[in-house]
Chains A and B, each alone.
Chain A
Amino acid sequence: MTSDHIPSLRNPSSIRTRLAHRFVRALKKLSMDRPSSPVSVSDRYKRYRMIRAAAYASMASSVGPRRAWARALLRKIRNRKTGNISMKRRGVRTCLVTKRTLLKPRDHREMGSQQENSLRGLVPGGEEMDFCRLLNETGHYIKCLRAQVKVMKNIIDLYSN
């Protein structure tokens, strides 16, 4: 009940609706190009990965580019997509990978405690932030993850009974 007094905590509810709309739209899109009967395990795994990516992407895009973690997450998903495409074209892939590792600054990672480093690993884009910013982004990320979990639970609950 204490969260009612802080107006910033009531904000995620609007983010949550935006997120839900995006997620539902993404799921619809996924179901458009879905094969009629997915049987094989690898196919199902692939679809699970796609749904998960859709969940994260909708979360990040509903937050918008103002947050560093959302930007990083979208970039990561996009990179993964292009990586998947270029896995078929080997030469391009190696080029992309080296570029990505070069772009990632790891200055903060060397100093700082073990917990800090693992937190950096968990929050998208956390490698590049200073600790203050990291904590800020972590708070927002937690809120959004919670909203995401709620939305997904709601959708599943709708269809499981």
Chain B
Amino acid sequence: MNDGAGGAYNFSEIWPGFHANAASYALAMNPPEMDHISNRGPVNYNNSKKRRDEDECAKGGASTSNSDNDNLIEGDGKRLKAEGISNGDRESKAQREDVRNSGKVTDKSAAKAAEPPKQDYIHVRARRGQATDSHSLAERARREKISERMKILQDLVPGCNKVIGKALVLDEIINYIQSLQRQVEFLSMKLEAVNSREGIYGSYPSKDFSQHTFETPGMPFDSQGAREYGRDSSPEWLHMQIGGSLERPS
């Protein structure tokens, strides 16, 4: 692994994040597993050669690039893609690398770069490992989303900001919704009572009727939403401020 990281000194120019990634993979892997991988080096190399041929076929042999590097970049690119970085990024990287390697590359450097297949394999394995990791990434993102929404809800429900803990916050929210639903029930009961008493619905208010009721100064409400609704001032007859209508005997 140390060799691999040492052999990568020219890759770090291509992609600055390489060293950190290699180190993190080294950290992430168990030592026995690593041995296992390095024993299987040659097989690996053949694999990567096959893949290199495919790569060059795909490119139409336009460039005389060092395909080991290319391969490595490709592996990285795939890993990047798994993390959600766009594919175009990878393409541009590969092109830059082509430009860099379009000069004569000696066999020595090619031999030196014989290490990368291992790297590549590690990357593949890391990618396999990262399948679970991406799950946990997605899980983390989901959890973040949930906590963010919980925060929004906390802002929405009055008196919920001081409560700590998901269950308690949910309890508060449930209580608030229940109280609102009960309020709707109560108010519709009251509407029914008002209706049966007066028979109001035949004469619904016109705008001029609303004008003088709109003038009445509002009493401050305790809840956030009420304050917000009291503050907007469109000339609708519904927007007038009311206070304590529930307590008043009808």
Binding site for B on A (CB under 8 A): 1-4, 9-10, 12-13, 16-17, 20, 24, 27-28, 30-31, 34, 38, 44, 47-48, 51-52, 54-56, 113, 115-116, 118-119, 122-123, 131-132, 135-136, 138-139, 141-143, 145-160
Contacts and interface: CB of A to CB of B under 8 A. Distances in A.
A141 B225 CA distance: 13
B149 A149 contact: no
Interface residues of B, number: 59
A152 B177 contact: no
Contacts of A24: 204
A10 B227 CA distance: 12
A152 B184 contact: yes
Contacts of B248: 160
B217 to A, nearest CB: 14
Contact of B184 (A47, A56, A115, A159): A56
Contacts of B124: none
Contacts of A52: 184-185, 188
B177 A145 contact: yes
A140 to B, nearest CB: 10
Interface residue SS majority, chain B: helix
Contact of A118 (B174, B180, B191, B228): B174
Contacts of A30: 201
Interface residue SS majority, chain A: helix
Contact of A141 (B167, B171, B177, B201): B177
Interface string B168-180: 0011011011101
Contacts of B196: 38, 44, 47
B238 A151 contact: yes
B173 A132 contact: no
A148 B183 CA distance: 10
Given A55-B184, A132-B145, 8 more contacts: A31-B200, A44-B192, A123-B177, A132-B149, A139-B156, A155-B191, A159-B194, A160-B250
